[in-house]
Amino acid sequence: MVTDSLSVPPLPSGRFSGPKAFERNLCDALACASQQGWRELMLCDFNFEDWPLNKLEVQESLSRWAVSGRRLTLLAVRYDEMVRRHPRFVSWRRRWDHLLDCRLARSATADDFPSALLGPHWFLQRIDRARSVCLCGTNPEQLFALREGQRQMVRDSVTGFPASTLGL
C-alpha cells in the first residue's frame, strides 16, 4: 500500500449506504488518521462483526498510526465476534495494548447501540445497521453531539476485551 499523502482520497461528507461503501470509508478514515497523525480515535459498535478490522490494509494503517501519545478507545457490548472474525486486529491489539482503552458497554441491543468512528475533526456514524446507511463529515455540531454521547457511554461502561487472559 502506498503511504504518500495522495494515496487516501479526501474523506467524504454526507450520507452514503451499503456495506462496500461502509468498509471503504472506514479503511480510508484509518489511513487518513495514520497519515495526518490523529491523536485520538474512538470506534464504537455492538460487536464489530462487519467492520473491516481483519483487512491487512487496516492493520497497516493502525500500525503506522500507533505512536506515543496516541489513544484508541473501543466501545462494544460484545467482543466475541472480534476474536472470531478479526484475528489480525486481535494480534495488533495485543502489541499496542498501552494505546487502547477497550470498554464493555452495559446492556444494549444491536439496534439501539451506536456504530461510529470518531476522529478529532471527522466522524462516520452508521444510522441503519441493516442497510449500512451512514452519515459522515466534519459538521462541528454533529461531531460534538456524537462525541458527547459516546463519552457518556464510556463513563457508564467497564473495562473489557483484555489483551490477554491469564489463567490462575
3-state secondary structure of 61: helix
The predicted structure's pLDDT at residue 3: 44
The whole-number pLDDT of residue 166 equals: 55
Residue 108 confidence (pLDDT): 75
CATH code given to domain 14-159 = 3.30.870.10
Mean pLDDT over residues 124-151, rounded?
A: 94
CA-only gyration radius of the chain, Å: 15
pLDDT band at 12 (very low <50, low <70, confident <90, very high): very high
DSSP state of 10: P
Residue 74 makes CB contacts below 8 A (sequence gap 6+) with 42, 43, 44, 48, 100, 101, 102, 103, 161
d(CA 106, CA 104) in angstroms, rounded, equals 6
Position 110 scores a pLDDT of 78
pTM of the model: 0.89
Bridge partners for 115 per DSSP: 126
65-102 residue pLDDT tens:
998 889 999 999 999 999 999 999 999 999 999 999 99
Structure confidence by residue, pLDDT tens digits, 115-137 = 999 999 999 999 999 899 999 99
How many C-beta atoms lie closer than 10 Å to residue 90's C-beta? 17
Q: What is the mean pLDDT of the chain?
A: 90
**Residue 1 banded pLDDT, cuts 50, 70, 90:** very low
Q: Where are the alpha helices (DSSP H) in 37-114?
A: 56-65, 80-85, 87-95
With a pLDDT cut of 70, the percent of the chain lying above it is 92
